[in-house]
Structure 1
Amino acid sequence: MSANKLPRPEYPRPQFVREQWMNLNGEWQFEMDQGCSGKARGLQKDDIQLKQSILVPFCPESKLSGIGHTDFMNAVWYKRSFTTPEAWLGRKTLLHFGAVDYETEVWVNEQFVGTHRGGYSSFSFDITNALKQGDNIITVYAQDDNRSGLQPCGKQSTAYHSHGCEYTRTTGIWQTVWLESVPDTYISSFRITPDTENACIHLEAKFNGAVNGLQFTCEAFYEKKTVGAVSVICGGSSTKLTLPLSETHLWQAGSPNLYDLNIKIVSGDTIIDSAVSYFGLRTIQLDGMAVRINGKSVFQRLVLDQGFYPEGIYTAPTDDDLKRDIEISLGLGFNGARLHEKMFEPRFLYWADKLGYLVWGEHANWGLNISTAQGLSQFLPEWIEGIERDFNHPSVIGWCPFNETWDSRNGARQDNEVLRIVYETTKAIDPTRPVIDTSGNFHVVTDIFDVHDYDQNTESFRARYAPMAEGGEVFNTFPERQKYEGQPYFVSEYGGIWWNPGQLDQDSWGYGERPQSLDEFIARYDGLTTTLLDNHSMFGFCYTQLYDVELEVNGLYTYDRTPKLDPEIIRAINTKKAAIEE
């Protein structure tokens, strides 16, 4: 990627779009700070030049950043200048960060504007009072220690080298940095709750500034035709309304009907603030062993997607790469994904919305010690930010805050209250979606009961779940640690077949013994997958995984997204009718 071409130029928040914005991606000054002494040395001062340059939003570990430093970095610094457009004068300016790993401090023109903790959620600061005419300088400092046990870091390696299912780390800025111009009184956030039974949406908006007596208006469109409009008088810092729709078009897997939405704050004929969005009409219900989407039992043919890229690590090189991963998955006959050990960026969810792709939102809990209540304070604030940011996406059909909460290295068990509180908080924020407390193990309180099973023997795999198919006992991987209580059930990780033809890397790995031929691979994939499709008590599956990641070579595609076999072979298996489907 050329440094002269603006990387990731697209609007970063596609469900809440304003016209006046500025992308700050591109070349920034950069410096590593292994001693975390930069503040004492005055690196936050505008006249101090940092030692290197970096291409934002790519992390310094990545090739695309121009740095490619893959050793641990305790702290990093960024700096760049920008000029505020004249049209923005007299308005507020917000500085947005898609994600920065992990603890961030920000200055504008040497004035401290804020701090944020969390490597995956988005955040912003009002920098209006720090601005001046002409050039302005932003300075960003980020500390990152994924070996501390005090921060969620997902699949980032805690050793120098990548190993097992821990891969190259991400430090500092890894999503788009951008400016937004807003009036003194503006819409700060909104959430949309679809109501298919009553052909409407319920919308709650929050405001910044004085809105008393002003009107808040919403207008919905379907294929450019107005299908609903409503206006209410604002009486405080937030308001709620119901927007009836004259036409009902449901958002479904493979049939992504979307409505456009205009929202405004107005005073008479004067528009104070406005933004455009979109939404989908979609409901989720649990019904016995079935998970119903818009009242229909839909078998969830999911694949594990870890969101890694050879040259960008956590950051897709282009927006098209995000879209392409979904298209690859759909081409294999999957209808969705577990977004694994990472909060994916809003642009990925946008393409999932547009392409009718089901996704489960998950946090990057690995690396965080949750054996005491301290883990809750490190986890919950960022998780809440993620839920609130992604709430409006119809493609998100469930939340899974934790994955495989194994006992810590010193043998301390998970604090069950941490999982319980996170579950209850998630349900309080979003009562519309099911929540898995921890995927695989160890369940405490959960709407869905799932297990991970990497048995490679198709006969023993089928025998294990045969009683369920007849309405009998379900398979519980850890009966001494978790109890099944009649919830909908699925195998949310299976397969992971070690298949890397033509690759001789001795450090690479997959699950089980490598098949000796393509035919053996296909037979194993077919046997494992058909077992789950044929089971009347199984509402879905999730195959590990869509593509290889570094040394883990159990993907259906290679790390550079080259198919390992004819995708139509996998598609034919995945799209067989499931027993639970109607």
Structure 2
Amino acid sequence: MLKDQIPRPEHPRPQFCRNTWLCLNGEWSYEFDFGESGMDPVRGMFRSAGFGRNITVPFCPESELSGVGHKDFIPAIWYHRTMEVPSEWGGKRILLHFGAVDYECEVFIDGVSAGLHFGGTVSFTFDITKWIQLGKTHHLVVRVKDDLREGNQPAGKQCFSYKSKGCHYTRTTGIWQTVWLEAVAPYGLKDIHIVPDFDSSSFVIIPRYLSVRRRLRLVVLAKANGAVAAEADIPAVDGVPAVLQMASSIPWDIENPFLYDLELKVVDDDGRVLDEVSSYAGLRKVHIEGNRIYLNNKPVYQRLVLDQGFYPDGIWTAPSDEALKNDILLAKKAGFNGARLHQKVFEERFHYWADRLGYITWGESSSWGCDCNTPEGARNFISEWREIIVRDRNHPSIIIWTPWNETRYYNNPGQHKRVHMDAYKICKDLDPTRPVNDASGYLHHITDVWTVHDYEQDPERLRKNHTPDPDRGVFRNMPEYEPEYEGQPYLIDEYGGMKWVGGEAEEPDSAAWGYGDDSGTLDAFYTRLEGLTDVILSRDHICGYCYTQLTDVEQEQNGIYYFDRSEKFDMKRIAQIFKKERAAS
């Protein structure tokens, strides 16, 4: 990477864009703080004017793209860079945004604390206006703490051992998404909640503002292919909705992912524009009837792939915006119509491409590593999960929320049930438009869809598992702990996971693994894969599946593609299997 080249320069929030922003990605200085003593007044790292080593933001220090590549545990790390706010930003609020920082983050401006955030996978913002002088060079210092081994913070698939093993991989510490500055009018928009009303051909836009003043108005335009399709003009008051009623509407769906462009302006009595934001929206509806999930009032059979969002050179951070788009194109090429985004909160640019390309997804937290049976673990999870939903609920491609994954360890039944119910209720309170899968596989408590994991490798045994029994009913992972299945939409949201390393002999000490024995030959692999998938398609009570997984991830070599995204199989043959439709019922 060239010294003056800014990595990941694209706007990180495509659904909430202003022209007045400044990307802070690129070269920062850093120092590890293994003793966590940087806040000691003697060391005073928060007053730093620069550390001794350089790192490329937004890539984490464990990654090669960061220029560091430190693989051991990092309990704390400090970052520094200088910044100068453009003089034309006078009279505006200066907002400092972070796409994501894992895990605890505190920001200092010229040695003064300007904000504190907990949560490793979601975006957050600090208003730093009172610490900024136009035309002055300021020292921006970021302190990060990350202690996943305590078991009280969401960590996803980050490994708790020094070296990756099993289904746990290289860790991510510190800044791992874009950092940027933004100038906003004092009475500008803080955020918007876009609620599509498919049946009425309208959108409801619910705004919040940085501050509210009398006699200001919000003007909203929806455009279709450049032409105004609807408009609204309302008082600029927190929570007062703008309704955009289309005379004729174009839905968003998998085959035709049409998106309306939105323009939002805060104006005063004289018609002066104080704030202007561009956004977009998709007109679509997700609901449940009986044991089927509907998209735009039609049953949709979900042919999903498990996507963990890891990259060989960036770990949790895609090396480029094109790489995010390419992962979706690879999945579609393999025959899938969507993905279960697994144990990671994907960056907003991924959701943007899913919206653009007609790719349905399930939004999930990085819940592994967070003991939901402890009050501290539950608290850390719930606060972060709330932020995740608020950030991502406007994306039409997300059709189901999944707070937890495989919460099988049941040593505190009351606490376990409570945190699952809390997560479910938060989803419903913040976003009643989507179904909720309280826990993917294993232990359900309260759920709109019933999901199970089954890595049975023999098609006939899989058929037996998923032939409903008159006495036991449908297959359930933990029937001894769960409530009875009540006829919800039923999906096998993890299956397959078949190991294939490319037909080459492995080293005796290889950590490579996948589910089941090696198929031996490619033909045997295709036969088993098709047999398993055909069984699922043949079961009338099953309304979708999720195959494990899109790519190999480090030692877990059961992807449809290699870790570097190169092709592992005859993709035409793979697509023929995953594009099969279930017979209409």
Whether these two folds match at TM > 0.5 is: yes
1:163-204 superposed Cα distances (whole Å, 9 cap, x missing partner) = 100000000000000000111111001011101111101110
Instruction: State the shift of 1:419 in Å.
Output: 0.6
Report what 1:425 is aligned to.
Answer: 426
Task: Please show how residues 476-555 of structure 1 align to structure 2 within 5 Å.
Answer: 476-483=476-483, 484-501=485-502, 502=504, 504-505=506-507, 506-555=510-559
Instruction: State the shift of 1:46 in Å.
Output: 3.8
Report what 1:264 is aligned to.
Answer: 265
Instruction: State the shift of 1:426 in Å.
Output: 1.1
Secondary structure, counterpart of 2:514 in structure 1: coil
Task: Please show how residues 310-349 of structure 1 align to structure 2 within 5 Å.
Answer: 310-349=312-351
1:89-114 superposed Cα distances (whole Å, 9 cap, x missing partner) = 22111000000000000011222110
Q: Which amino acid aligns with 1:325?
A: D
Instruction: State the shift of 1:466 in Å.
Output: 2.6
Report what 2:24 is aligned to.
Answer: 24
Q: Is the 8 A contact 2:340 2:363 kept in 1?
A: yes
Q: Which moved more, 1:498-507 or 1:173-182?
A: 498-507
Q: Is the 8 A contact 1:254 1:357 kept in 2?
A: no
Report what 1:87 is aligned to.
Answer: 88
Secondary structure, counterpart of 1:303 in structure 2: strand
Q: How far, CA to CA, are the matches of 1:96 and 1:496 in structure 2? A: 38
Q: Is the 8 A contact 2:442 2:476 kept in 1?
A: no
**1:7 and 2:7 correspond:** yes
Change over 3 Å in CA distance of 1:3–1:390 after alignment to 2: same
1:348-386 superposed Cα distances (whole Å, 9 cap, x missing partner) = 000000000000000001111111333221111111101
Instruction: State the shift of 1:472 in Å.
Output: 9.3
Q: How far, CA to CA, are the matches of 1:26 and 1:62 in structure 2? A: 14
Select which of 552, 563, 567 maps to 1:563.
Answer: 567
Report what 2:233 is aligned to.
Answer: 231
Task: Please show how residues 33-52 of structure 1 align to structure 2 within 5 Å.
Answer: 33-40=33-40, 41-47=43-49, 49-52=50-53
Q: Is the 8 A contact 1:471 1:537 kept in 2?
A: no
Unaligned 5+ runs, structure 2:
none
Report what 1:451 is aligned to.
Answer: 452
Change over 3 Å in CA distance of 1:353–1:94 after alignment to 2: same
User: With structure 2 as the length reference, what TM-score do the two structures score?
Assistant: 0.96
Change over 3 Å in CA distance of 1:471–1:225 after alignment to 2: farther
1:198-226 superposed Cα distances (whole Å, 9 cap, x missing partner) = 11011100011233221111100011111
Instruction: State the shift of 1:525 in Å.
Output: 0.6
Q: Which amino acid aligns with 1:63?
A: E
Change over 3 Å in CA distance of 1:503–1:329 after alignment to 2: farther
Q: Is the 8 A contact 1:510 1:553 kept in 2?
A: yes
Report what 1:303 is aligned to.
Answer: 305
Q: Is the 8 A contact 2:151 2:371 kept in 1?
A: yes
Q: How far, CA to CA, are the matches of 1:45 and 1:29 in structure 2? A: 14
Task: Please show how residues 158-173 of structure 1 align to structure 2 within 5 Å.
Answer: 158-173=160-175
Q: How far, CA to CA, are the matches of 1:223 and 1:202 in structure 2? A: 20
Q: How far, CA to CA, are the matches of 1:63 and 1:319 in structure 2? A: 17
Q: How far, CA to CA, are the matches of 2:418 and 2:472 in structure 1? A: 31
1:62-87 superposed Cα distances (whole Å, 9 cap, x missing partner) = 00000000000000000001111111
Report what 1:577 is aligned to.
Answer: 581
Instruction: State the shift of 1:254 in Å.
Output: 2.9
Q: Which amino acid aligns with 1:515?
A: S
Report what 2:416 is aligned to.
Answer: 415
Q: Which moved more, 1:488-497 or 1:123-132?
A: 123-132
Q: Which amino acid aligns with 1:188?
A: K
Unaligned 5+ runs, structure 1:
none
Q: How far, CA to CA, are the matches of 2:213 and 2:527 in structure 1? A: 64
Change over 3 Å in CA distance of 1:404–1:3 after alignment to 2: farther
Q: How far, CA to CA, are the matches of 1:242 and 1:221 in structure 2? A: 14
Q: Is the 8 A contact 1:373 1:415 kept in 2?
A: no
Q: Is the 8 A contact 1:56 1:65 kept in 2?
A: yes
Q: Is the 8 A contact 1:455 1:495 kept in 2?
A: yes
Q: How far, CA to CA, are the matches of 1:2 and 1:412 in structure 2? A: 53
Q: Is the 8 A contact 1:546 1:557 kept in 2?
A: yes
Secondary structure, counterpart of 2:422 in structure 1: helix
Instruction: State the shift of 1:246 in Å.
Output: 2.1
Instruction: State the shift of 1:412 in Å.
Output: 5.1
Q: How far, CA to CA, are the matches of 1:188 and 1:369 in structure 2? A: 33
Q: Which amino acid aligns with 1:13?
A: R
Secondary structure, counterpart of 1:291 in structure 2: strand
Q: Is the 8 A contact 1:207 1:238 kept in 2?
A: no
1:306-352 superposed Cα distances (whole Å, 9 cap, x missing partner) = 01000000000000000000000000110000000011000000000
Instruction: State the shift of 1:298 in Å.
Output: 0.9
Cα RMSD for the two superposed structures: 1.5
Q: Which moved more, 1:89-98 or 1:168-177?
A: 89-98
Q: How far, CA to CA, are the matches of 1:401 and 1:222 in structure 2? A: 34
Instruction: State the shift of 1:237 in Å.
Output: 3.2
Q: How far, CA to CA, are the matches of 1:237 and 1:258 in structure 2? A: 26
Q: Is the 8 A contact 1:437 1:445 kept in 2?
A: yes
Instruction: State the shift of 1:241 in Å.
Output: 2.1
Q: Which amino acid aligns with 1:106?
A: V
Q: How far, CA to CA, are the matches of 2:309 and 2:371 in structure 1? A: 23
Q: Which amino acid aligns with 2:267?
A: V
Q: How far, CA to CA, are the matches of 1:547 and 1:237 in structure 2? A: 44
Q: Is the 8 A contact 1:29 1:51 kept in 2?
A: yes
Q: Is the 8 A contact 2:223 2:260 kept in 1?
A: yes
Secondary structure, counterpart of 1:536 in structure 2: coil
Q: Is the 8 A contact 1:545 1:555 kept in 2?
A: yes
Structure 1 runs of 4+ with >6 Å offset: none
Q: How far, CA to CA, are the matches of 1:524 and 1:285 in structure 2? A: 34
Report what 1:289 is aligned to.
Answer: 291
1:525-553 superposed Cα distances (whole Å, 9 cap, x missing partner) = 10111111222211110000000000000
Q: How far, CA to CA, are the matches of 1:452 and 1:146 in structure 2? A: 26
Q: Is the 8 A contact 1:91 1:184 kept in 2?
A: yes
Q: Which moved more, 1:208-217 or 1:191-200?
A: 208-217
1:250-303 superposed Cα distances (whole Å, 9 cap, x missing partner) = 111132011000011111320011100000001011111110000111100000
Report what 1:74 is aligned to.
Answer: 75
Q: How far, CA to CA, are the matches of 1:205 and 1:503 in structure 2? A: 59
Q: Is the 8 A contact 1:492 1:542 kept in 2?
A: yes
Q: How far, CA to CA, are the matches of 1:503 and 1:247 in structure 2? A: 60
**1:437 and 2:406 correspond:** no
Instruction: State the shift of 1:467 in Å.
Output: 3.1
Instruction: State the shift of 1:503 in Å.
Output: 5.9
Report what 2:182 is aligned to.
Answer: 180
Q: Is the 8 A contact 1:149 1:369 kept in 2?
A: yes
Q: Is the 8 A contact 1:211 1:237 kept in 2?
A: no
Q: Is the 8 A contact 1:375 1:418 kept in 2?
A: no
* Aligned residue-pair number: 576
Instruction: State the shift of 1:463 in Å.
Output: 1.9
Q: Is the 8 A contact 1:546 1:556 kept in 2?
A: yes
